[in-house]
Structure 1
Amino acid sequence: MPLNNAMMLLKGLRFHHLGFCFFWAVIFVVLSGLQSTSNPSDHWRLYLLVEQTVTTLAVGLVVYLYWRKKTVLPRWLSLVAGFTLSGGALLYFMAFAFGFDDVVTAGISGVMLGCANALFFLLWQTFFVTEGQQRSIIYIPISAVLSIVLYIVTQLLPFLALLFVVVVVLPFLAMLTLHTSLGEIELYPIRVLDKIDLKRVVADLWKPIFCVCAIGFVWKLVSRLSGSVESSEGFTAMAVLVGFGAASLLVALIELFSKKGFEILRMYQILFPIITGIFLLPTFFGSYYSPLLTGMLMFGFETVNLLLLVACAVYSAQKRYSPIVMYGICIFPVLFFMVAGDALGSVLTPILAFDFAHVINALFVCVYLLSVVLVLVSRGRKPAPVIAGTEYLALDDDTLISDSIEAAAYVPAGITDQQAQVGQDEEAELSTVQYFLQKGLSRREIEVAELLTKGHSVAAIARKLYISENTTRGHTKSIYRRLGVHSRQELIDMREQGIF
């Protein structure tokens, strides 16, 4: 993205649009504190297992329920998510800070936080999809960066202040910002996925999803094994935090200042030799470097995971698929493999903890697994991607036009009918802009017209473009006059009929 466009988007940010950071900050606190990294209690392990499992199952259940629906989760669920997050955090502190170290409290805390995770994930994804592709690609990574800042601030607080902030303040802000953001969305007409559409989505996105699943599985497995090493106590959590922060900052910079974004597969190919090199450090220099390996895996996973979230949001908006269904297709496998990696690590930890040589053998198996993934996703012919990321046309100071955008992660799986269709879609997006230019529309009118054809109302367009509703109505009347139509529906019909 050109620098001036990036600065314009940053200036147009609203406080509540970045509210995902408050939720993330709570999750960081409850995942990183109150337990020894090398000797966690059985109830702590139960809590982690329940929280991760419930999150995965809840996401899968909601996706299943909404698979054939043309609606999204209602706005009032943001209130449920906020109170559930607060209650889960309170029970967490009761279980691990106030002496209520029993299986019931830990289990209920895991269930509540798992449900809160699923609701926040799906509701924020709905907002990101409908907000517009230029802004959604920066909201996600910037929110992640801010969550790290909030987490660091909370760690400087006295315990009672930390308790109040994590149980009351942050959940309230997370709920308020989410509820406010959802009130602004104007959802496009949702296309229900049929078998043909599903095959096309899988063909488009299975490789980046596969990469993220593999790194997530290995990260969870190695994190569990590294936590069993006594010398890693106190360093693993810090390494994970640094890895997450570095990944968030990297993705934010990529999406803000790169002209075409960054493909997940290309990023995976860059990360693979780096991660492999870090894998060798514990082998040659001992267990002291295990936390560094965990942090590097977190960096690699979160980098490709954030890119996948961006790709999922952009792809959903482009194809007008349900944001809930697309989130399930992209992220549910990742959540599942993370749970599987953590569970396998829990099983192997008692076996390998007494002999670091066995841990080294497990690490080499992980390297082999990542190399197999690299080979699989690199197979087949690799023509130039339709669109590697998001291209922007630098116009005037108050105009941003997004030009024929496909998912940031999209890499063709081969020369197939689906790929040919995607190429046609790209040409259609380009021809739309050309058609509007031929009809004499101004640059701002083109941006308004593109949103009108996607079913957005005047109020929604005004919010997205940060212009007044009167100005939007003026542009709309001019568009109708130049194109010879009298309503938004006629404009949508023209697009569906292939006129532009």
Structure 2
Amino acid sequence: MDAATVAFFHLCYSIELIVAFAVMIALRRRLEALFRSSRTIPVLGGFLGAVGHALLIACEAGSSSSRILIMAGMPLVATFEAAFVLLWGCRLSSDGGGRAVLGIAISFAASQLGLIVVCSGFLPYAPFLLVCAVCTGMCAAFSARGASLSRTFDLSSMRQLPWRMAALMMLLVYFCVVYVRLRIPEFSGDASMSSKLFASVLCLCTFSAVVLCLRRFADPESGLVVVFIILASVYMVGLLMVALFPDDGSVLARRVLIAGEHCVEVFIWMTFAYAAARKRLSAVLAFGILGILLVALPWMLSFDFRYLVPIAESVVSSDALNSVVTVALCVTALGTIAYLSVYALQIARKASEDAHSSHNEAAKRAFANVGLTERELEVGILVYRGYSAKRIAEMLYVSEPTVKSYTSRVYRKIGVHSKQELIGFVDGRDLFM
């Protein structure tokens, strides 16, 4: 098909996807419990996805009624995609913030591993999508949960989500979508299997590092800040490569930037999942809005912007205007990354201060009636916070043997014999206060 026809179908699919998300958001009170506990819903969703993909595969095989097959298959695939975005969002956010973040990171890494297998030529691409739909439905059916905790369903609750961070990071996503599409000179683009393979390998390596990073941090907020730094670095590398190799043939530079954009998208999902889990927000509502902003609209722009909007074509055809737009977009992206870096560090600093304050208060409450002196209380709090004897000595300007002496007195007065027992003592007391 010619570019305009394919762009028209892209536009239809994007609209259908937005409608599917909107309907599910409207029915969120009923769907929330079903998405968490039902086994029938995921099986039905997987079946719809498989049928939709089968219709599109039949079209690709050269059927004479290709348009009818496309129009019949697209709404089924759109319903499948929207349903499982929300279903897995509900199930992940019921695990708690830290596990939800880690679950999204692992699932994205696994998806990239599957793409590597396909793009390497071991499996045909179109049937692989059909198999994925069936397997997704079966996996979701077997992982059904019980009744969920009470959730907040009203739209006003969405103010509690990290919109400021998300909005700025969405600028990076939309920058990549628009910029890369403008730089692709022809309809065939750079979506070859070798290009996809390269991007998938880069995404897999990046998120393998992300998973290892998240597992090292007990505090998810601190882990998310480090993850942001990793992903912003990958995006920055892609941006610099595009700036250094601006010619239309620089497929490698574009794929690095696209991989960075995918990683940024997943980070937004992670921050929303963490916030929704902690604040007991409706996952259907939170992930439905995010699905429209990060799945449907970028999909629409990624193809339709170039082939259905005359302004975009005029930018591409004018070398002078193209250069101005390129510089403006790059400056915007660099400024956004710089601002987000400062913002992420502020969040980390505040989270660290809050955690220290919380630990201090918990320790003071636990040690309130055990007869500690003021210095013993100081040492006990620092031991609870995990500092070594050497570090405590440096902080209090005393010798290390003196710290060990105070520590022994604290242990004796509260009836414990080690740092881990002291931590358990404080946490146990704090749980019932």
Q: TM over 0.5: same fold?
A: yes
Any conservation in 2 of the 1:54–1:111 contact (CA below 8 Å)? yes
Match of 1:344 in 2: 305
Instruction: Say which of 56, 60, 72 aligns to 1:108.
Output: 72
1:232–1:288 contact (8 Å) kept in structure 2: no
Matched residue, 1:370: 333
Conservation of the 8 A alpha-carbon contact between 1:352 and 1:358: yes
Change (3 A) 1:85 1:231: closer
Q: Does 1:254 align with 2:216?
A: no
- The answer to whether the 8 Å contact 1:43/1:106 transfers is no
Q: State the shift of 1:274 in Å.
A: 2.9
- C-alpha deviation, 1:337, in angstroms: 4.5
Matched ranges for 1:228-377 at <5 A = 228-229=185-186, 232=190, 234=192, 236-258=195-217, 260-263=222-225, 266=229, 270=233, 273-283=236-246, 286-289=247-250, 291-335=251-295, 337-339=297-299, 341-342=301-302, 343-346=304-307, 347=309, 350-351=313-314, 359-374=322-337, 377=340
8 Å CA contact 2:217, 2:223 repeated in 1: yes
Task: Give, in whole Å, the separation in 2 of the partners of 1:171 and 1:40.
Answer: 28
What does residue 168 of structure 2 align with?
Answer: 211
Partner Cα separation in structure 1 for residue 128 and residue 300 of structure 2: 32
Check whether the contact 1:137–1:310 (CA below 8 A) recurs between aligned residues.
yes
Distance 2:316 2:273 in 1: 41
Residue 53 of structure 1 is matched in structure 2 by: 15
CA contact (8 A) 1:84 1:116 kept: yes
Kindly tell me: are residues 69 and 151 of structure 1, through their superposed partners in 2, closer, same or farther at Cα, counting changes over 3 Å? closer
Check if 1:222 corresponds to 2:179.
yes
Per-residue deviation, 1:248: 3.1
Counterparts of 1:214 and 1:96, CA distance in 2:
34
Aligned residue in 2 for 1:135: 99
2:163 partner amino acid = W
SS at structure 2 position matched to 1:57: helix
Shift of residue 206 of structure 1?
A: 1.6
**Distance in 1 separating the partners of 2:366 and 2:48:** 48
Secondary structure of the corresponding residue to residue 288 of structure 1: coil
Which residue, 34, 37, 53 being the options, matches 1:89? 53
CA–CA distance in 2 between the matches of 1:214 and 1:265? 15
Question: Which amino acid in the other structure matches residue 24 of structure 2?
Answer: V
Q: CA separation in 2, counterparts of 1:91 and 1:356?
A: 42
Structure 2 unpaired stretches of 5+: 370-427
Q: Deviations over 1:12-64 (max 9, x none)?
A: xxxxxxxxxxxxxxxxxxxxxxxxxxx86544333333333322332233223
- What whole-Å deviation, never above 9, does each CA across 1:427-470 have from its counterpart, x for those lacking one? 6799779989999xxxxxxxxxxxxxxxxxxxxxxxxxxxxxxx
Distance 1:300 1:151, change over 3 A: closer
Structure 1 segments unaligned to the other structure (5+ residues): 1-38, 389-421, 440-481, 484-493
Identity %: 13
- Aligned residues of 2:105 and 2:266 also touching (Cα < 8 A): yes
2:326 maps to amino acid: L
Taking a change above 3 Å as real, the CA distance of residues 267 and 57 of structure 1, as seen in their structure-2 partners, is: farther
Does residue 66 (structure 1) correspond to residue 28 (structure 2)? The answer is: yes
CA 1:329–1:93 in structure 2 vs 1: closer, same or farther (change >3 Å)? Answer: closer
CA drift at 1:132: 3.5
Q: In 2, distance between residues paired with 1:147 and 1:175? A: 15
Whose radius of gyration is greater, 1 or 2?
Answer: 2
Question: Is the 2:306–2:313 contact (alpha carbons within 8 Å) kept by the matching residues of 1?
Answer: no
Equivalent-residue separation in structure 2 for 1:432 and 1:210 (angstroms): 36
Q: CA deviation at 1:177?
A: 0.6
Q: Letter of the 2:100 partner, please give it.
A: S
Amino acid at match of 2:216: F
TM-align CA RMSD:
4.1
Change (3 A) 1:321 1:116: same
Change in 2 beyond 3 A, CA 1:194/1:217? closer
- With over 3 angstroms needed to count, the CA separation of the structure-2 counterparts of 1:268 and 1:369, relative to structure 1, is farther
1:341-420 aligned at under 5 Å gives the runs 341-342=301-302, 343-346=304-307, 347=309, 350-351=313-314, 359-374=322-337, 377=340, 382=346, 385-387=349-351
Say if 2:45 and 2:137, in contact at 8 Å, map to a contact too.
yes
CA distance in 2, matches of 1:179, 1:87: 18
